[in-house]
Amino acid sequence: MAGTEAAGRLLNLIIALTDSGARMTRERIRATVEGYDTVPAGASEDERRRLDAAFERKFERDKDDLRRLGIPLRTVVDPIHGDDIGYRIDAAAAALPPLDLSPAELAVVGIAADLWSDATLGEDARQALTKVASASDERPSERVVLSGTSSAVADAVAALVEAIELRREVRFGYTSAASGSSTRTVRPWRLVLRGGALYLQGHDVDRGEPRTFRLSRFHGTVRAVGDEGAFEIPAAMPAAFEEQEPGEALLAVRAEAGHALRARGAARGRDGEWDVIAVRYHHADQLRDEVLALAGAARVIEPLWLADEVRAHARGALEAVRG
Partner 1 sequence: MAERALARLTRLLGIVSYLETHGEAPFDELAARFGTTPTQIEADVWLLFTTGKPGGMPDDYVDFDGDALDEGIARLRDGQGLTQVRFSAREAVALLGALSSLEASGAAPPAAASALTKLKTAVGDVAPVEVMGESRADPQVVAVVREGAESGRAVALEYVDAQDHRTERLIEPHRLVTIDGVGYVECWCHRAGDYRTLRLDRIMSAALTEDVVTHAPADHTGFSLAPRYEATVEAARAARWALESMPGASISETDQGILTTFPVADADWVAGRLLAIGPHLHSVAPAALADAVARRAADVLAAQDG
Q: Which of residues 66-125 bind partner 1 (CB under 8 A)?
A: 67-71, 91, 93-97, 99-102, 104-109, 111-113, 115-116, 121-125
CB 203 within 8 A of CB 190: no
In the window 127-156, what residues touch partner 1 (CB under 8 A)? 127-135, 137, 139, 143-152
How are beta strands 74-77 and 169-176 bridged, if at all? unpaired
Reference 231, options 203, 211, 206; nearest CA is 203
Query: How far apart (Å, rounded) are the C-alpha atoms in residues 23 and 229?
Result: 23
Q: What are phi and psi of 174, to 5 degrees?
A: -145, 140
Q: Which is nearer to partner 1, 47 or 285 (CB)?
A: 285
Count residues binding partner 1 (CB under 8 A).
Answer: 135
In the window 263-322, what residues touch partner 1 (CB under 8 A)? 263-264, 282, 285, 288-289, 291-300, 307, 310-318, 320-322
In the window 181-200, what residues touch partner 1 (CB under 8 A)? 181, 188-198
User: Which listed range, 48-56, 74-82, 157-165, 203-211, lies at the site for partner 1 (CB under 8 A)?
Assistant: 157-165
Query: How far apart (Å, rounded) are the C-alpha atoms in residues 189 and 158?
Result: 14
Q: Which is nearer to partner 1, 107 or 277 (CB)?
A: 107
For the CB of residue 304, give the shortest distance to partner 1 in the complex, in Å.
11
Neighbour tally for 172: CB within 10 Å:
22
In the window 35-64, what residues touch partner 1 (CB under 8 A)? none
Position 212 contacts partner 1 (CB under 8 A):
no
> Which of 19, 228, 248, 302 forms a contact with partner 1 (CB under 8 A)?
19
Helix pair 154-166, 119-134: axis angle to 10 deg? 70
Q: Which is nearer to partner 1, 47 or 176 (CB)?
A: 176
For the CB of residue 209, give the shortest distance to partner 1 in the complex, in Å.
19
Reference 108, options 134, 150, 142; nearest CA is 142
Position 245 contacts partner 1 (CB under 8 A):
no
> Which of 74, 171, 211, 217 forms a contact with partner 1 (CB under 8 A)?
217
CA atoms within 13 A on the CB side of 157: 22
Residue 213 burial (10 A CB sphere; 0-12, 13-18, 19+): buried
Peptide bond before residue 303 is cis, with ω within 30 degrees of 0: yes
* Virtual torsion, Cα 157, 159, 161, 163, nearest 10 deg: -150
> Which of 45, 83, 232, 256 forms a contact with partner 1 (CB under 8 A)?
256
CA distances (Å), 180 to each of 171, 206, 218, 268, in order?
A: 16, 15, 12, 39
User: Which listed range, 42-50, 75-83, 172-180, 221-229, lies at the site for partner 1 (CB under 8 A)?
Assistant: 172-180
For the CB of residue 45, give the shortest distance to partner 1 in the complex, in Å.
28
For the CB of residue 102, give the shortest distance to partner 1 in the complex, in Å.
7
For the CB of residue 315, give the shortest distance to partner 1 in the complex, in Å.
7
